[in-house]
Structure 1
Amino acid sequence: MADRHVDYLLIGGGIASATAAATLREEGATGTITIVGRELDPPYHRPPATKGYLQGKESKEDAHAHPADWYAEHDVELLTRTSVMALDTEAREASLSTKETVSYGEALIATGAMVRRLGGVDGSGLDGIHYVRALGNADAIRADAQDAERIVCIGGSYIGCEVAASLTAMGKRVAIVLQEAEPLSTGFGLRAGVFFRDVLESHGVEIFGSDEIAAFEGDGERVTTVRTGNGRELPADLVVCGVGATPDVMLARKAGLTLGEAGGVLCDTHLRTSAPHVYAAGDMAEYQSVVHDTVLRIEHEDVAMSQGATAARNMLGQDVPYDTVPYFFSDLADWVSLEYVGPARSWNEEAVVGAIADGAFAIYYLDGGVVRGALSVGGLDDLERARELIRSGESVSAADLGAESYPA
């Protein structure tokens, strides 16, 4: 028998649960709400961990999803440093790490993702090799970087590029090693990738593309060198790895929830899982997209927030599909900012508005004349227009977009 009952149990202490709690109250929920999260801190925005917070320009309070007194003011119970150890979806009960058993009316599972580690690389256990996902990781990197002169970032996606820019802005000499030819090119293509390389290099970041990590070497317990597959030996007082993440589905798998091909918890168009009264949101949700007519799993904070809101509305019986066109944003120090809607999984044409060399441009990613995604740099062009084109599936030409056409 459960020790107590909560009407809305939100599992995971991240931004999806924080948004779900706020949406429940905004939409009129009067029942009890409990957020269970294993981190020490209350729910917070993660992008500052590679940007302003890492640089020491923002505080933890700046990153928090809600002010400290918000939870009490909105009658939301927040359990930090607490995990759900088991979820019985038939009995609708959750066993907590505090030894308490809680029954629930509706549940959201939003346990996020775990960083992918380079455990198979020789020397990966040396001191000075960091991964970043939480604010605590940023604290450790900032402290370790104080006496570091040469830093190597691994990975050419958001994390690697953002950390490289932040540490360079802090006065460090930084190199990036990436498997792709150009940074950020996996999502944005080679034209945009060359632009981002130029931005990074113009501020002193070294870029080593089309390469991979062969080994880490050290002096005693501490890393000193990164050796690459192309034979480079890069001096490193500190290493930061940004090589992706894997959905945290340990609890979901144990609870018997159906998983998808991408490893996330499989959801329908309304973010309902295979278990009645259990929804999923955020990095570990693999959902049937009504916009893209395919199953997607997307790791980004804006997606987690919008999914948390949709799941909350459906907990209240509103029966609304998750039909948001995913939005992404990033900035490299204060050098350049970008926004993106999509995602474009594949495309055969790039329609470019403006001049890439000028640093204010947009790229529409077309597949057979249909817009699948759009990148805006420097605030150029209208992403709302791109959203509508992605939704409609309308066939357009580069000329319709006021753009120059280039093959992908």
Structure 2
Amino acid sequence: MAVPVIMPKLEMSQETATVVAWIVQEGERIEKGEPLLTVETDKVTVEIESPASGILGGIQVVPDQVVPVTETIAYVLQPGETLPEWAEPSSQAAVQARAAHPPVLATPVARRMAADLGIDLDEVARTGPGGRITKGDVEAAVGVSSRPAAGTGAGRVRATPAARRVARERVVDLAEVTGGGPRGRVQAADVMAHESRPALGPEPEFEAVPLRGMRRTIAARMQQSYQTAPHITLTVEVDMSAVEALRDELNARAEGLGVARVSITAILVKVCAWALQSHRWVNASLHGEEVHLHASSNIGVAVALDQGLIVPVIRSAERVGIAEISSRLRDLTDRARRGVLAPEDVRGGTFTISNLGMFGIEHFTAILNPPESAILAVGRIAKRARVIEGEEGDKVAVRPMMTMTLSVDHRVLDGAVAARFLKDVVEALEHPNLLLW
């Protein structure tokens, strides 16, 4: 019998998801557990697996379409089976899309490899059963595309399948398009931007870019947070001498052990996780008329992407050593930038750190990441004069100083509670041995 493919709810607050691309086309064979399509939420881009083995049919949605969660988007049929009477036929948009671009038979592995390498399946030789493109066909195409074209000295233009499709539709020469993707790969947006450039006349005063995908969701969530949660902000300076010495010592040992180097952000994660265990109202989230006081310190670290901001989470950071935190942080950041985070990587955060110090920023305030009650904004470390108190009197010394600003939800906690938490964070950074208590 027909098995519906449902748009899953990947996150607690998720209401919709955007279809990125169908990996398998209507009429193609699919095995249970193999990827069917790619969808994007406000936090992650993920592959949706087939719920059953059979033939994909009755596709209801097309790329770039925003779909409510739990909605049926396609069906998996048995060979020879037709859609049941209660099932919706393929959407007109999907029918038109398939008519304009007939499906290319290819194995799921071949499709993923082609997408990763920017290979257009329409241009790949088909040697598999029934004219299906195999992994070997894509590998062979890579070898051909990497060789210079005869008489030109130029290789094939690297472009995503979507970019090649848009270029064909709009009669755009990909060789004239500047690629904005990884390693200069031409993306669909690059083709559309190239086509929109006026051939003659003055440059336009502005470019109207619609809010889409992650950017649209961030805009809505940040507006809601800023308008709904009354923010309190507290700012402190901290002497980072002890932290820098600790980092240097740990990294010297890391080189000998062959483990990941420790970053300042990793130490901040550990210190905040430690302090949150004593300040449960900072490690809290607001849900309607209830405040949830969390037992674990699940620290989210903001990562900047071209398309927006994402906050992967290091879970139970109070139980993990600094070296392990640094390793997890490196892995999460790398996967975030490659767009391969899993939904569980961004779920369940209880506190967020946003560090803009690497951009030379001295001080800034961050907007709360709902439903969390606190977020820490971290500036750069810079040498500044500081008065050092001692038994023989005060003296001025140059120290590596860092500014931190804590924003909290006044509905959940008051300024004094936030101040005590921030005081403990400063003390732990200036005296890291406190973490051993």
TM-score for the superposition, normalised by structure 1: 0.24
Work out which of the two has the higher radius of gyration on C-alpha atoms and give 1 or 2: 2
Comparing both structures, which one devotes a greater share of its residues to helix? Answer: 2
Comparing both structures, which one devotes a greater share of its residues to strand? Answer: 1
Indicate the structure whose relative CO is greater, using CA pairs within 8 Å and at least 6 residues apart: 1
